Chain A
């Protein structure tokens, strides 16, 4: 049977991996939203101001 310290390390490693993965996903979605907005607004950037 694992010791208490080994189980604490097991939980903490699992929690840290889970939280790091969630942060990566949120960063990916934020970047996707930024690109979507940029694409949606592109016609404004293409206007020529004379």
Chain B
């Protein structure tokens, strides 16, 4: 993956972003640390990266509009230097993945340049590593200028549909 430039992010980011060489960091006005990382995905079809986002407290900060704006600035920089696919899976911690999915989609739908991206959200009925039923929320984000846009969406749509239609 091409490295993100924190200086470029900070041109528009409300919180100052810095990098330790791998992970992007920022700290909110409430002194809560956030980290954003992109992890290479192992799918055999397209180059893609999982967006990882976590904070120190493990709690949402719904009143702080600077947080989504900062994360969007980081995502913008990701796509500037990596014209690939971004995947996002909501954490299953405390069973709040549905709320996290809605929050993430709201961040992106509120984004003034959303016309630049296609975002597809999927509910995936799955089983975890211990075999327990679980529901994952996965978002697929692609630049509209991606020459493989239709192929990528068709591939993910068909795989997720096949997966969710499966009757054991």
Which A residues lie at the B interface, using CB under 8 A?
1-2, 4, 7-8, 10-19, 21-22, 25-26, 29, 32
CA distance A2 to B52 in the complex (A): 24
Describe B's contact surface by its main secondary structure: mixed
Please tell me if the beta carbons of A17 and B39 are within 8 angstroms of each other in the complex.
Answer: yes
Closest chain A residue to B160, Cβ basis: A7
Q: Specify which chain B residues have a CB less than 8 angstroms from the CB of A4 in the assembled complex.
A: 162-163, 166
Q: Mark B144-163, 1 if CB is under 8 A from A, else 0.
A: 00000000000000110011
Q: Complex Cα distance A7/B89, Å?
A: 14
Per a CB cutoff under 8 Å, which of A11, A13, A19, A22 touches B124?
A: A11
Q: How far is the CA of A11 from the CA of B124 in the complex (A)?
A: 9
Interface size on B, residues (CB 8 A): 31
Tell me whether A1 and B159 are in contact (CB under 8 A): yes
Q: Which B residues are in CB contact (< 8 Å) with A22?
A: 52, 54, 91
Complex contact B39–A15 (CB within 8 A): no
Contacts of B138 in A (CB 8 A): 11
Q: B: which residues have CB within 8 A of A?
A: 23, 33, 35, 37, 39, 41-44, 50, 52, 54, 56, 58, 87, 89, 91-93, 124, 126-129, 136, 138, 158-159, 162-163, 166
Contact A15–B42 (Cβ < 8 Å): no
The 8 Å CB contact of B39, one of A10, A12, A21, is A21
| Chain B residue nearest to A18 in the complex (CB) | B52
Q: State how many angstroms separate the Cβ of A35 from the closest Cβ of chain B.
A: 14
Q: Is there contact, CB below 8 Å, between A11 and B126?
A: yes
Q: Are B41 and A25 in contact (CB under 8 A)?
A: no
Decide: B56 and A15 in contact? CB cutoff 8 A.
no
Which residues of chain A are near B43, meaning CB under 8 Å? 10
Known: A12-B129, A13-B42. A26 touches B54 (CB 8 A): yes
Given known contacts A14-B42, A15-B92, what 19 new A-B pairs fall within 8 Å (CB)?
A1-B162, A4-B166, A8-B127, A10-B43, A11-B89, A11-B126, A11-B138, A12-B128, A14-B41, A14-B50, A15-B128, A18-B91, A21-B37, A22-B52, A25-B35, A25-B54, A25-B56, A29-B33, A32-B33
